[in-house]
């Protein structure tokens, strides 16, 4: 394994949810311990299950792993860290400031940036603790900070007080308001991260075109901050032997190999390892040891249940029928990257247009290619794309001109970095999308990729819309509808959450649902995409993987979704109108 060659003190595993970061970091820790090293494994992943993997409780304290002498673990709960962090900032002003102002600050501190910075606040102590680094040969981190967070912490400006001077347009600097005392510690932590002799970053991906494109962006973003020592691990690759069993397995193998062969140029010069797909969950030491070996795919003793059958769930066509009955409205596809939002959005738009209903299909996903997926044209279907780069740059210029003109060089640098946050892009894109929203009163508008509940609340809190109407003296007796009101109206908007039948994607989708509910938006349905449990196969390995999906499908059905549709893994790439139809009504 190239990523394990001459490992430095710090190893960071990063990648989107569901690619196997936790499994790989745990397996690596065991490998290093068996080479005679003393290892500390630290998780800052909100979806972490390190304790479950080792079948023991860990929590926010360094704990010896009983089944692996020499291995110690620590789970930092990022949500708890964020709650404590928010309270340190908001507590002193609660009661002293108007309730509306406190609510605005709370929302400012409720996004992903706050959670990540709070977690970073916790583990910088580990990076800079000389006693700790002397005690362990290697410290492994399950989930690395983003380039945006690192750049924020590299800024030398005065963090405290910035948000009070610039309450509008700032989405990530709020979390920095209480960090002045840790400035020196952060500087030391960033220095350790940027030292190739001490730190290696392992980019974890699946053999999928969209996932590899996302990893390439992460690689470039982190390299620009100084984290130049990087390796790529492509996890869960189906073997050629399994591909020989049937058409589905062969199609999966073909798609994966095509994605690897066509990976972005930015990744091709990195040291790359490929790990085979396993037929069982990575729970227990024996299973973890097999992840980094070339053993056959037989499950360790006691691991993996016999194939099970999931409940008879509706197809995507059932949801489309219910949507079509409304005659018009906004359909928003939401979910994490790589779950298939674009394909499903196009499929729903095609199905509605083929019923003779006028449809405007649009996207703000920089990686989405609606026209390529559609591969044709249909009467009643209009396709457009909102360019995130163009809209974000326009928004940045506006905020810098309006809020940055009176700032000194340090303050302007902080504002510019704040405007590189993911929230900024969502705000900018939504402002462009709000122009399309008006069409939903007359026809269907299907949007691929929508802003999170936090971003919507942030817009609301900063007066970007909704309250803007009443603030500018509009007669409250007059009838008006703002974008937020339209999104909150279940008669006018249906939000479909897209996920995969795997633990991390389901957990992330559930967190997204809670995020939306905070904004007063109730998801209308869930779509579980690319299910092996719904696709017949002769491959022994895929059969076992299908059995593992059942628990996740049942969790969605019984705990999270009011409506649900199950879309099988496809043998043919869902490109073109004919193949998109097959997503709606799969063949038996």
Question: Could you tell me if 573 and 530 are in contact, meaning their C-beta atoms sit under 8 angstroms apart?
Answer: no
Report how far apart, in Å, the C-alpha atoms of 35 and of each of 38, 70, 213, 274 are.
9, 10, 34, 22
Reported as a pLDDT band with limits 50, 70 and 90, residue 565 is very high
Predicted pLDDT of residue 163:
42
Long-range pairs, 25-29, Cβ under 8 A, ≥24: 25/140, 25/141, 25/142, 26/50, 26/53, 26/54, 26/142, 26/282, 26/288, 27/282, 27/288, 27/289, 27/291, 27/292, 28/3, 28/4, 28/140, 28/292, 29/68, 29/71, 29/73, 29/138, 29/140
Catalytic residue among 17, 20, 147, 174: 20
Catalytic residue among 14, 15, 17, 45: 45
Calpha distance 222→194 (Å, rounded): 9
Reported as a pLDDT band with limits 50, 70 and 90, residue 481 is low
Tell me if residue 411 is catalytic: no
Predicted pLDDT of residue 156:
44
Catalytic residue among 16, 17, 21, 460: 21
Predicted pLDDT of residue 526:
98
Share of the chain above pLDDT 70, in %: 81
Reported as a pLDDT band with limits 50, 70 and 90, residue 442 is very high
Higher pLDDT, 246 or 49: 246
Higher pLDDT, 517 or 366: 517
Residues 458-485 have a mean pLDDT of 48
Tell me if residue 22 is catalytic: yes
Tell me if residue 18 is catalytic: yes
Higher pLDDT, 153 or 75: 75
Tokens of 124: 């910088």
Catalytic residue among 23, 44, 115, 363: 23
DSSP β-ladder status, 10-14 and 199-206: parallel
- Which domains, from first to last, does the chain contain? 7-291 (3.40.50.300), 316-395+422-471+480-584 (3.40.50.300)
Residues 233-249 have a mean pLDDT of 94
Higher pLDDT, 412 or 64: 64
Whether the model clears a pTM of 0.85, i.e. scores above it, the answer is no
Which of 190-204, 241-255, 300-314, 460-474 is the most confident on average? 241-255
Share of the chain above pLDDT 90, in %: 37
Predicted pLDDT of residue 111:
67
Residues 448-460 have a mean pLDDT of 64
Residues 282-309 have a mean pLDDT of 62
Helix axes 112-128, 78-90, angle to 10 degrees: 100
Question: Could you tell me if 280 and 286 are in contact, meaning their C-beta atoms sit under 8 angstroms apart?
Answer: no
DSSP β-ladder status, 71-75 and 63-64: antiparallel
Residues 421-437 have a mean pLDDT of 75
Predicted pLDDT of residue 295:
59
Is pLDDT at 180 greater than 60 in this prediction?
no
Residues 306-323 have a mean pLDDT of 81
Tell me if residue 403 is catalytic: no
Catalytic residue among 14, 16, 22, 537: 22
Higher pLDDT, 176 or 346: 346
Catalytic residue among 15, 17, 18, 335: 18
Predicted pLDDT of residue 402:
76
Catalytic residue among 48, 128, 504, 530: 504
DSSP one-letter code for 299: P
- Cα 254 to chain centroid, rounded: 26
| Mean pLDDT for the chain overall | 81
Tell me if residue 273 is catalytic: no
Tell me if residue 228 is catalytic: no
Is pLDDT at 268 greater than 50 in this prediction?
yes
CB half-sphere exposure, 519, CA atoms < 13 A: 29
Is pLDDT at 149 greater than 80 in this prediction?
no
Which of 18-27, 140-149, 183-192, 427-436 is the most confident on average? 18-27
Is pLDDT at 211 greater than 50 in this prediction?
yes
Residues 111-127 have a mean pLDDT of 75
Tell me if residue 343 is catalytic: no
Question: Could you tell me if 346 and 374 are in contact, meaning their C-beta atoms sit under 8 angstroms apart?
Answer: yes
Predicted pLDDT of residue 169:
43
Predicted pLDDT of residue 73:
92
Predicted pLDDT of residue 167:
44
Residues 564-574 have a mean pLDDT of 91
Is pLDDT at 34 greater than 80 in this prediction?
yes
């Amino acid at each position: 394994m190239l990523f394990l060659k001459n490992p430095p003190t710090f190893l960071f595993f990063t990648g989107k949810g569901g690619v196997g970061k936790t499994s790989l970091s745990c397996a690596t820790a065991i490998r290093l311990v068996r080479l005679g090293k003393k290892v500390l494994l630290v998780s800052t992943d909100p979806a972490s299950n390190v304790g479950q993997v080792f079948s023991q409780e860990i929590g926010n304290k360094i704990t010896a792993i009983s089944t692996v002498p020499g291995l110690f673990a620590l789970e930092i709960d990022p949500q708890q860290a964020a709650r404590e962090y928010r309270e340190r900032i908001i507590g002193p002003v609660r009661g002293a400031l108007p309730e509306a102002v406190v609510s605005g600050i709370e929302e400012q501190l409720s996004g992903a940036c706050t959670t990540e910075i709070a977690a970073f606040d916790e583990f910088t102590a580990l990076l800079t603790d000389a006693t700790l680094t002397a005690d362990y040969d290697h410290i492994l981190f399950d989930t690395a900070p983003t380039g945006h967070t690192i750049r924020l912490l590299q800024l030398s400006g005065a963090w405290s007080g910035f948000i009070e001077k610039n309450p509008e347009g700032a989405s990530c600097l709020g979390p920095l308001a209480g960090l002045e005392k840790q400035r020196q510690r952060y500087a030391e932590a960033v220095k350790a991260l940027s030292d190739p002799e001490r730190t290696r970053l392992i980019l974890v991906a699946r053999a999928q075109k969209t996932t590899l494109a996302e990893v390439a962006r992460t690689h470039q973003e982190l390299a620009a901050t100084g984290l130049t020592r990087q390796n790529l691990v492509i996890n869960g690759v189906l073997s050629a032997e399994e591909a020989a069993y049937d058409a589905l397995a062969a199609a999966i193998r073909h798609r994966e190999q095509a994605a690897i062969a066509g990976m972005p140029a930015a990744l091709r010069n990195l040291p790359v390892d490929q790990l085979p797909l396993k037929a069982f969950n990575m729970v227990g030491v024996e299973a973890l040891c097999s992840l980094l070996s070339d053993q056959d795919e037989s499950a360790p003793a006691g691991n993996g249940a016999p194939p099970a059958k999931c409940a008879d769930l509706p197809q995507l066509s059932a949801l489309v029928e219910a949507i079509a009955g409304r005659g018009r409205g906004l359909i928003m596809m939401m979910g994490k990257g790589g779950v298939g939002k674009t394909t499903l959005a196009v499929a729903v738009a095609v199905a509605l247009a083929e019923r003779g209903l006028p449809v405007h299909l649009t996207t703000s996903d920089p990686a989405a290619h609606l026209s390529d997926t559609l591969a044709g044209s249909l009467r009643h279907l209009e396709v457009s794309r909102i360019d995130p780069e163009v809209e974000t740059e326009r928004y940045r210029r506006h905020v810098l001109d309006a809020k940055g003109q009176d700032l000194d060089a340090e303050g302007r640098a902080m504002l510019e970095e704040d405007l590189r946050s993911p929230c900024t892009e969502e705000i900018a894109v939504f402002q462009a999308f709000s122009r399309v929203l008006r069409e939903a009163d007359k026809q269907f508008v299907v949007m691929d990729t929508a802003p999170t509940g936090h971003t919507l609340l942030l817009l609301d809190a900063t007066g970007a819309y909704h309250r803007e109407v009443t603030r500018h003296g509009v007669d409250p007796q007059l009838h008006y509808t703002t974008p937020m009101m339209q999104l909150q109206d279940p008669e006018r908007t249906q939000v479909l959450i897209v996920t995969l039948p795997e633990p991390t994607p389901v957990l992330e989708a559930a967190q997204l649902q809670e995020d939306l509910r905070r904004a007063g938006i109730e998801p209308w349905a869930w779509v579980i995409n690319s299910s092996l449990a719904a696709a017949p196969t002769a491959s022994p390995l895929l059969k076992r993987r299908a059995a593992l999906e059942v628990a996740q499908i049942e969790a969605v059905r019984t705990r999270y979704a009011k409506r649900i549709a199950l879309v099988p893994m496809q043998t043919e790439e869902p490109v073109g109108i004919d193949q998109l139809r097959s997503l709606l009504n799969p063949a038996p």
